[in-house]
């Protein structure tokens, strides 16, 4: 493929997203939404095409714009295969999400400015694509910051809700904390008198850095990129900000944007630094395991459908980080084949999670659109009122619970397999750590199944628990189309596991000394990990499962007489079932909440009002419960309090009198002059 085709698709991608931003000039909200959708779909298609060209073709994209921001060294782009994997994810998710957004944002017409949403969406999408295309520090940081600010503006779209603004504030603070860490990491990387701030130059210089500097760069990058990805303990903004955004933006943030944190970590840790000592990987595995477990445990007990999904994103980032960490461990132990499997498993989960989390967030958006309710305890019965939404949400739930025959199963299976050579490792400490990692992986898989049985079962099945749910309606065509594409992607990606893995293997080949893809897996219909640790064929499992279920259906049809009577659900002889007899979301999670009670430490408040005559005749029971996550209680609350205290001290300076301010200026000048003379 010629370099021209790459350049053309790059500029088409930019043009598409800029056209989406041009919605800011549209005269009517409907036109603004249409322009956003069409521009975004066009830009995303060009992005996916560009990624595909880089993945299959021998050449990569390179664009130098030395005159743009010349004082800072100019802007430059370079897209290699690692970036192309992520660009493909961005493009592929953006298309259905933008179609969905056209329908979803219609509810905002007249309440919030569709023009501003258009501008921010275009900039947000473009900046995400440019992050993975950036060839140097300046371009990367510019795109990164543009992404942060535009997504923050999108988060606070519903700016008249206090919790939205609060969530946005958390996001803004955390993302800039992360940016500070990133800048520090990049400055440390470039301190060897580098003048060229391209990643290629940094890669060359990184070999000669002192071990202490390399460690500092790695840890700073972990904090900076981890705060975007949602790693513990810098994930705290994610469950506040992701649910607050409009649902299609939540889908983009959870399915795509968090993955750019993973991208950054791979770019700096694996590509530029080329891996490091074993403890890097150990730290990543430990953080990954605790992120996965914390994420899923809080998802399990959350009653807010969108926040539940946000916590589940944290869990999945933890799973990805488990694979990444195992990869770093194997790389440091001189087992590049095992490392390649682990990194491939992580990237496969990046791709798969984008599909099912996108579908789930769009589904949650449709529920919110149809009922105005996010509290699962007030939903129910939607499977009859919104069958499309229910079906897509079910597919997403089964996929995210890692159940065959969907794509989540393929990547979690590979994550398990990637740990096995490590458990067989000769280093006992590594073996024990990875054994516990397998335990964490399995427990989070099981808890995710429970979480999504709750999320789907309580929200969509049985009888509606509120008038809003009873009067719910199905989503419009654009929303249905967007959800259907992403839901369909789940079984399709399961079938295409082997081709996707070979693309990932090609992207990883050569980065940080990883071997070529062809030596990593033996791939046909059957996927085989190296040293024949295991073999699997998602396609065959899917075919046999469908055949066996159909066989059961056919057999039952032949032997039974097919007579059916519709009647009430059995209620111990009581007639007239109401939704108050159903299990609720809180009740469903209660056993697990009690088992892990030491972690949650909920504050429960139970009030029983009895009849005046007898203590056995109960008039009413009120139950309130509140969970304050431990990391907020233990880490962030003191921090916030200290910041407030410091700020109120500083406030004393601000008297509001001009004279005082002039005095400050004079004082500062005197001090500065003194310092200069002192030198």
Partner 1 sequence: MFDMAGIAVEVGQALLALALAPALAGFIRWMKARMQNRRGAPFWQPYAELRKLFRKDMVVSRHASWIFHLAPFVIFGSTVVVSLLVPVLVTPLPFNAVADLFAVVYLLLLGTVFLALAGLDTGSAFGGMGSSREMTIAAISEPAIALAILSLALAAGSTNLGEIAARTIARPSSAISPGHVLAFVALFIVMLAETGRLPVDNPSTHLELTMIHEAMILEYSGPYLALVEWASWLKLLVFLALAGNLFIPWGLATSLAPSALAVALATTVAKLVVIAAAVAALETRVAKLRLFRVPELLAVSFVLGLLAVASSFSVR
Give long-range contacts, CB 8 A cutoff, 24+ apart: 142-145.
142/75, 144/179, 144/182, 144/264, 145/179
Contacts of 39 (CB under 8 A, 6+ apart): 16, 17, 18, 19, 20, 21, 22, 23, 122
| Shortest distance (Å) from residue 569 CB to partner 1 | 4
| Shortest distance (Å) from residue 362 CB to partner 1 | 20
| Shortest distance (Å) from residue 298 CB to partner 1 | 14
Choice between 356 and 456, CB closer to partner 1: 456
Choice between 76 and 407, CB closer to partner 1: 407
C-alpha separations of 295 from 235, 283, 287, 436, 443 in Å: 9, 18, 12, 17, 12
Choice between 71 and 532, CB closer to partner 1: 532
Choice between 17 and 588, CB closer to partner 1: 588
| Shortest distance (Å) from residue 507 CB to partner 1 | 25
467: its two tokens = 């008038």
| Shortest distance (Å) from residue 390 CB to partner 1 | 8
Contacts of 254 (CB under 8 A, 6+ apart): 242, 309, 310, 313, 357, 358, 361
DSSP state of 79: E
Choice between 125 and 589, CB closer to partner 1: 589
| Shortest distance (Å) from residue 397 CB to partner 1 | 8
| Shortest distance (Å) from residue 487 CB to partner 1 | 16
Judge whether 421 and 335 are in contact, CB under 8 Å: yes
Choice between 153 and 341, CB closer to partner 1: 341
| Shortest distance (Å) from residue 98 CB to partner 1 | 30
How far is the C-alpha of 74 from the C-alpha of 64, rounded, in Å? 8
DSSP state of 2: -
Name the strand (E) or helix (H) holding 619.
strand 618-626
Choice between 594 and 641, CB closer to partner 1: 594
Choice between 253 and 370, CB closer to partner 1: 370
Judge whether 154 and 246 are in contact, CB under 8 Å: yes
Closest listed residue to residue 389, CA positions, set 306, 305, 460: 460
Beta bridge mates, 76: 64
Choice between 424 and 670, CB closer to partner 1: 424
Helix, strand or coil, per DSSP, at residue 498: helix
Beta bridge mates, 603: 626
Choice between 69 and 618, CB closer to partner 1: 618
Buried b (16+ CB within 10 A) or exposed e, 293-304: bbbbbbbbbbbb
| Shortest distance (Å) from residue 286 CB to partner 1 | 16
How far is the C-alpha of 50 from the C-alpha of 13, rounded, in Å? 8
Helix, strand or coil, per DSSP, at residue 59: coil
Helix, strand or coil, per DSSP, at residue 245: coil
Choice between 214 and 385, CB closer to partner 1: 385
How far is the C-alpha of 417 from the C-alpha of 340, rounded, in Å? 12
Give yes or no for a cis peptide into 108 (omega within 30° of 0): no
Name the strand (E) or helix (H) holding 527.
strand 527-528
| Shortest distance (Å) from residue 333 CB to partner 1 | 16
Choice between 555 and 634, CB closer to partner 1: 555
Pairing of strands 75-79, 61-65: antiparallel
| Shortest distance (Å) from residue 530 CB to partner 1 | 12
C-alpha separations of 223 from 133, 233, 448, 643 in Å: 22, 9, 26, 20
- Rounded to 10 degrees, the C-alpha dihedral 440/443/448/450 comes to -160
| Shortest distance (Å) from residue 428 CB to partner 1 | 6
């Amino acid at each position: 493929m010629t370099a021209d085709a790459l350049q053309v698709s790059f500029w088409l991608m930019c043009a598409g997203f800029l056209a989406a931003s041009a919605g800011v000039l549209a005269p009517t909200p409907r036109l603004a939404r249409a322009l956003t959708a069409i521009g975004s779909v066009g830009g995303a298609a060009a992005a996916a095409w560009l990624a595909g060209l880089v993945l299959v073709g021998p050449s990569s994209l390179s664009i130098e714009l030395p005159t743009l921001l010349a004082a800072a060294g100019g802007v430059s782009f370079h897209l290699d295969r690692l970036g192309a994997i992520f660009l493909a994810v961005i493009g592929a998710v953006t298309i259905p999400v933008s179609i969905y957004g056209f329908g979803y944002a219609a509810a905002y017409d007249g309440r919030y400015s569709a023009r501003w949403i258009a501008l921010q969406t275009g900039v947000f999408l473009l900046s995400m694509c440019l992050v993975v295309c950036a060839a140097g520090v300046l371009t990367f940081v510019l795109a990164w910051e543009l992404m942060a600010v535009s997504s923050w503006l999108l988060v606070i779209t519903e700016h008249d809700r206090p919790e939205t603004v609060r969530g946005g504030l958390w996001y803004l603070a955390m993302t800039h904390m992360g940016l500070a860490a990133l800048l520090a990491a990049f400055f440390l990387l470039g301190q060897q008198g580098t003048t060229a701030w391209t990643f290629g130059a940094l890669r060359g210089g990184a070999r000669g850095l002192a071990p202490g500097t390399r460690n500092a760069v790695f840890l700073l990058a972990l904090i900076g990129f981890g705060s975007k990805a949602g790693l513990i303990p810098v994930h705290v903004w994610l469950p506040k900000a992701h649910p607050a955004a409009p649902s299609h933006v939540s889908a983009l943030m959870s399915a795509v944007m968090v993955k750019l944190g993973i991208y950054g970590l791979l770019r700096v840790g694996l590509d530029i630094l080329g891996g490091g000592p074993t403890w890097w990987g150990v730290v990543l595995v430990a953080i990954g395991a605790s992120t996965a477990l914390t994420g899923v445990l809080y998802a399990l007990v959350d009653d807010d459908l969108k926040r539940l999904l946000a916590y589940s994103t944290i869990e999945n980032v933890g799973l990805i980080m488990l694979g990444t960490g195992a990869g770093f461990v194997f790389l440091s132990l001189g087992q590049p084949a095992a490392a390649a499997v682990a990194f491939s498993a992580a990237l496969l989960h990046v791709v798969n999670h984008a599909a099912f989390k996108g579908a789930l967030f769009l589904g949650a958006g449709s529920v919110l659109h149809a009922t105005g309710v996010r509290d699962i305890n007030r939903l129910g019965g939607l499977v009859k009122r919104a069958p499309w939404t229910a079906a897509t949400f079910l597919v997403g739930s089964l996929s995210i619970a890692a159940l065959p025959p969907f794509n989540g199963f393929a990547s979690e299976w590979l994550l398990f397999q990637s740990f096995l050579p490590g458990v067989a490792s000769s280093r006992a400490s590594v073996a024990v750590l990875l054994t516990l990692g397998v335990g964490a992986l399995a427990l989070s898989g099981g808890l995710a199944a429970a979480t999504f049985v709750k999320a789907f079962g309580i929200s969509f099945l049985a009888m509606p628990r509120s008038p809003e749910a009873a009067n719910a309606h199905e989503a419009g065509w654009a929303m249905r189309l967007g959800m259907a594409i992403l839901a369909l992607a789940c079984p399709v990606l399961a079938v295409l596991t082997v081709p996707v893995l070979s693309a990932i293997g090609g992207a990883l080949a050569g980065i940080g000394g990883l071997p070529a893809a062809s030596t990593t897996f033996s791939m046909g219909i059957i996927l085989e990990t190296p040293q024949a640790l295991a073999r699997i064929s998602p396609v065959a499992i899917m075919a046999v499962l469908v055949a066996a279920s159909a066989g059961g259906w056919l057999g039952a049809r032949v032997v039974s007489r097919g007579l059916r009577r519709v009647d009430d659900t059995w209620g111990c002889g009581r007639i007239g079932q109401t939704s108050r007899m159903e299990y609720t979301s809180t009740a469903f999670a209660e056993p697990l909440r009690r088992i892990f009670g030491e972690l949650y430490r909920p504050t429960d408040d139970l009030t029983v009002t009895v009849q005046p005559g007898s203590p056995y005749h109960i008039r009413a029971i009120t139950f309130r419960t509140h969970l304050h996550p431990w990391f907020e209680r233990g880490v962030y609350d003191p921090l916030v309090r200290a910041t407030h205290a410091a700020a109120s001290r500083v406030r004393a300076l601000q008297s509001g009198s001009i004279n005082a301010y002039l005095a400050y200026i004079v004082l500062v000048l005197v001090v500065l002059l003194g310092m200069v003379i002192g030198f």
